[in-house]
Amino acid sequence: MSLSVYLSGEIHTDWRDVIEKGARAAGLDVDFSAPVTDHDASDDCGVAILGAEETGFWKDHKGAKLNAIRTRTLIEQADVVVVRFGEKYKQWNAAFDAGYAAALGTPLVVLHAPEHTHALKEVDGAALAVAETPEQVVDILRYVLTGKLPG
């Protein structure tokens, strides 16, 4: 069995790399995808491709729509969606991705620190698993693919 896993959310830490390296080290057959994690490219894609805008609202509007083409397509193709909520920024897009995956019926794993449990209680309620570390996500993928427990 193989899995297609979409890694959504926070872009300021190496959590994606930890999961991808852990899955490779465990010999798991997983294909990973993600949003564009270059913050400037993600913010500027709309105006870079479709032309300049006079206001920040329309610049953001264009960028969000182009990013949504990628995000929606990859979430729809995923077998599992992992959404990471980081420490520093409000990730409204991550919450949207989690809701979209839940609405599609795609298995959802949420990843965040314990102190965000209350704020994310509705998102956690839609998830099939809530992890606190990227390593736990690797353990979840290992169990799903092989039925083996960590260790």
Structure letter (DSSP) for residue 85: -
Q: Cα–Cα distance between 82 and 34 in angstroms, integer?
A: 10
**Run of H or E including 121:** helix 121-126
Reply yes or no on whether the pLDDT at 67 is more than 90.
Answer: yes
Contact (Cβ atoms closer than 8 angstroms) between residue 83 and residue 111: yes
Burial, 99: exposed, middle or buried (Cβ in 10 Å; 0-12, 13-18, 19+)?
middle
Return the structure tokens found at 115: 């102190």
Binning pLDDT at 50, 70 and 90, where does residue 87 land?
confident
Strand 30-33 to strand 80-84: parallel, antiparallel, or no bridges (unpaired)? unpaired
Note the pLDDT tens digit of each residue in 1-39. 899 999 999 998 999 999 999 999 999 999 999 999 999
Task: For the beta carbon of residue 66, count every other beta carbon within 10 angstroms.
Answer: 18
Q: How confident is residue 119, by pLDDT bands cut at 50, 70 and 90? A: very high
Buried b (16+ CB within 10 A) or exposed e, 67-88: beeebeebbeebebbbbbbbee
* pLDDT tops 90 at residue 151: no
Rounded distance between C-alpha atoms, residue 68 and residue 63, angstroms: 8
Mean pLDDT computed over every residue of the chain:
96
Question: Is it the case that residue 136 has pLDDT exceeding 90?
Answer: yes
Q: What is the pLDDT of residue 118?
A: 95
- Which residue spans within the chain are E strands per DSSP? 3-9, 30-33, 80-84, 108-111, 129-131
Determine if the pTM surpasses 0.85. yes
